A and B are shown apart, each in its own frame.
Chain A
Amino acid sequence: MSEFTYQGEAGRQRPDPASTDRAAWDAYVYDRLNPAGEHNELWQHSGGCRAHLVVTRNTLTHVISSVAFAREAGRAHSAGRRGKGARS
């Protein structure tokens, strides 16, 4: 069993909850960058503290170059009003 659970691409832009922009919702729910190379992604420490982490990992080599708590990263961004969600 893995200690961490993959939770997909980080930094996907969830439209404003009341938004009726269907293209934006489509993009949020279905479209992925899926890069061959550096990838910002979420992992949950599901076998431990349950926190989500924003991890930058290379999808060609699996080398991890940075890790941050998603919640802190997300709060920092909303505090800075840059509105980029959890993407660092």
Chain B
Amino acid sequence: MRKAMAEYSPWWPGAPYRLAHRMKRNVPMAEYSALSLLRNALGGNRDWAPAWRKPEPKPTYDVIIVGGGGHGLATAYYLAKEHGITNVAVVEKGYLGSGNVGRNTTIVRSNYLLPDSIRFYEHSLKLWENLSHDLNYNVMFSQRGMLNLAHTPGQADDFIRRGNAMRHEGVDAEWLTPAEIGRMVPGLAIGGSARFPVVGGLMQPRGGTARHDAVAWGYARGADRRGVDIIENCEVTGFLRDGDRITGVMTTRGEIRAGKVGIAVAGSTGHVMKMAGVERLPIESHVLQAFVSESLKPFIHTVVTFGAGHLYISQSDKGGLVFGGDIDGYNTYAQRGNLPVVEEVMSEMVALFPGLARVRLLRSWGGIMDMSMDGSPIITRGPLPGMYLNCGWCYGGFKATPASGWSFAWTIAKDEPHRINAPYTLDRFHRGAVIDEKGQGATPRLH
């Protein structure tokens, strides 16, 4: 990767190359830095420009990306940045980032079991580690560590197997004893009196959390600065075709043509692909609820998952405990869930942290997950000529955002997958070459 220093904005004032860079690239918008913040504050914050333009759609682009969520915006950004393809439109039916990129529990990690998964998510994690600089937008990636708690010796072996798989791919993973965990995570029910005592935990120190909305906005601003048109409130209503070949999209803001059309619509994949005549896919749309507590002073300092149930929890910088559990487990396109999962998740929360019974749930919401048949994504050319498909993120899409966009951009630009997304084809199901992290087979609600 080319890393000219001028690409990045040091936080301290007065980096001369920044100005030169901006002139060279003819970037209209101000770089964000402590200096620009101070200058603007003195001017009453009147000079800030929009983070991205609101252009009218042009009739034709080289590439259209359907879906202005994290993955679609990242794809547009990397098309422009890595492949020099800037005549790109991102069309979004609602407001930018209105889907899962702004509805997740913000966890970033690469602690997977299977080599294909580890390589993909580690590529993503490496992009995350430099993302704020890359985008000149603070996505607040906080590498506070990702801790999976194990509650039986068998589960400990499973987790260690995964940790070792990571280590053999050059990824960080450590085993923590209950005593170490107790020091790191106060308030945790660890000992013998707990129904599911903690026997140890797998820690990925480089894992953590990021500010989800900032990822969408940062990619949008970065893509926009490189010339990409981001068109909000522009719903795709059909596809333009020449025979089998997809040649553009019909939208609520008119027809838009393009040589290549990439689909990155997550939970809406089934619905959108039907417009292209693809009736069936190895995808089910499910709702995943997420929860945030009232704002608290720092309570928990890492991301923690509960092994005797399904729960993940971290604390946002604002102080809310952000947590979630299992999907509701039925097909839906409605961004609302139901009580049984709410009660299950809260029960696990207070089982893990018995002091939290007195803390209060502030807000809950739902996002639509594109659950695939093996729990792994699809990033591929096709299934129709002129079309490229990115879906099947289940509920792990947020952490994948950089690598998803990066590899999808590669696939669109070069008409072939990159090494990291080559396994994530659509025909892997036909071949039996599934990537099944949980070993649950073709039952999406169990992934």
**Direct touching of A and B (C-beta under 8 Å):** yes
The tally of residues in B whose CB lies under 8 Å from a CB in A reads: 28
- Provide the main secondary structure of the chain B interface: mixed
Contact of A17 with B by CB under 8 A = no
- Provide the main secondary structure of the chain A interface: mixed
8 more CB-based (< 8 A) A-B contacts, given A31-B282, A60-B333: A2-B340, A31-B281, A32-B280, A32-B281, A32-B284, A33-B280, A34-B280, A36-B271
The answer to whether A6 and B330 touch across the interface, beta carbons within 8 angstroms, is: yes
Can you list 28 A-B pairs with a CB-CB distance of less than 8 A? A1-B340, A1-B344, A2-B329, A5-B329, A6-B330, A8-B445, A9-B284, A22-B430, A26-B430, A29-B373, A29-B429, A29-B442, A30-B442, A31-B281, A32-B270, A32-B282, A32-B283, A33-B280, A34-B270, A34-B280, A34-B285, A35-B271, A36-B271, A39-B331, A59-B285, A59-B331, A59-B334, A62-B336
The answer to whether A41 and B373 touch across the interface, beta carbons within 8 angstroms, is: no
Q: Find chain A residues with CB under 8 A from B336 CB.
A: 62
Contact of A68 with B by CB under 8 A = no
Per-position contact with B for A42-71: 1 when CB-CB < 8 Å, else 0? 010000000000000101111000000000
The answer to whether B334 and A33 touch across the interface, beta carbons within 8 angstroms, is: no
> Chain B: residues with CB nearer than 8 A to chain A?
268, 270-271, 274, 279-285, 329-334, 336, 340, 343-344, 373, 429-430, 442-445
Q: Find chain B residues with CB under 8 A from A61 CB.
A: 334
Q: Find chain A residues with CB under 8 A from B334 CB.
A: 59-62
A32 to B284, CA, bound (A): 7
A16 to B274, CA, bound (A): 28
Q: Report which of A27, A39, A60 forms a contact with B280, defined as CB distance below 8 A.
A: A27
The tally of residues in A whose CB lies under 8 Å from a CB in B reads: 25
A32 to B281, CA, bound (A): 6
The answer to whether A31 and B280 touch across the interface, beta carbons within 8 angstroms, is: yes
> Chain A: residues with CB nearer than 8 A to chain B?
1-2, 5-6, 8-9, 22, 26-27, 29-36, 39, 41, 43, 57, 59-62
A57 to B331, CA, bound (A): 9
Q: Find chain A residues with CB under 8 A from B333 CB.
A: 36, 59-60
A29 to B329, CA, bound (A): 18
Q: Find chain A residues with CB under 8 A from B280 CB.
A: 27, 31-34
